[in-house]
Amino acid sequence: MDQLPAIIRDFERVSADLVEQAAAFQAAILSDVAGRRGTMHGRVAPVHERMQLAGPAFTVEVRPGDNLMIHAAVALARPGDVLVIDGRGDQTVALMGTLMLSACKQRGLAGVVVDAAIRDRLDVLALDFAVFSVGFNPAGPTKLVPGRINHPISAGGVVVHPGDLIVGDADGVVVIERAKAPALMALARNKVAEEAARIQAIARGDTSAPWLPAALKAAGVIQQGQEGQFP
């Protein structure tokens, strides 16, 4: 039985048009319309709260503390890709720093998501390039251990396949399966419109939640006839 190569170069990506559409939405909106699935653990956060990214996943699996395969991925990724790196959440060593992230920006990548530590915080802030990580550590990595590129990985507790839609903002990172992403755009637009209308209603003084009494009753918190306590 033939084995898959460690490095897969060709795979189907979410379309550029869909990435452009998705970039207009908050990660929270996309998470909601995706059934509240696909959000990475809160440990994976933007280096700066204003950082945003959207693009197809270019996945990398490494051994904790070794970035050999990340160097290979930087060389192979296409403009617009988002490097998504399974570093097992390790914070004892930095997997990337200014040099590698500068190369990612120069090559036109949309951003980097690292489920591990990075370093050079101030330089990264000045780089104006979207980077999400679990924190910082000054220790440098080794470059010795083989890993895999563009295989399914787990990053931030979420399964990520090559080509999946990745969207990140101040709230964190959401992963949308490539095949499901097109159908979610209309749902996301509707969700934005609904929330805008609700915000306008709140501004007019309507802070009611019509669904709340029924939900409280279903949860056993209130009894029949007590719904009026929650107008």
Please indicate if the annotation marks 120 as binding a ligand. Answer: yes
In this prediction, the residues of the chain whose per-residue pLDDT falls under 50 are 1
What are the extents of the domains in the chain? 16-186
Please indicate if the annotation marks 43 as binding a ligand. Answer: no
Please indicate if the annotation marks 100 as binding a ligand. Answer: yes
Please indicate if the annotation marks 123 as binding a ligand. Answer: no
On whether the CB atoms of residues 71 and 141 are closer than 8 A, the answer is no
CA distance 97 to 81: 18
Amino acid 227: pLDDT: 81
Amino acid 1: pLDDT: 44
Per-residue pLDDT of 157-173, as tens digits, reads 999 999 999 999 999 99
Amino acid 2: pLDDT: 54
CA distance 159 to 174: 11
Domain 16-186 has CATH 3.40.50.970: no
Say what the pTM is. 0.94
Please indicate if the annotation marks 69 as binding a ligand. Answer: no
Which pair of tokens denotes residue 158?
């979420």
**Cα 112 → chain centroid:** 9
Tell the residue number behind the tokens 């499901």, with chain if given. 180
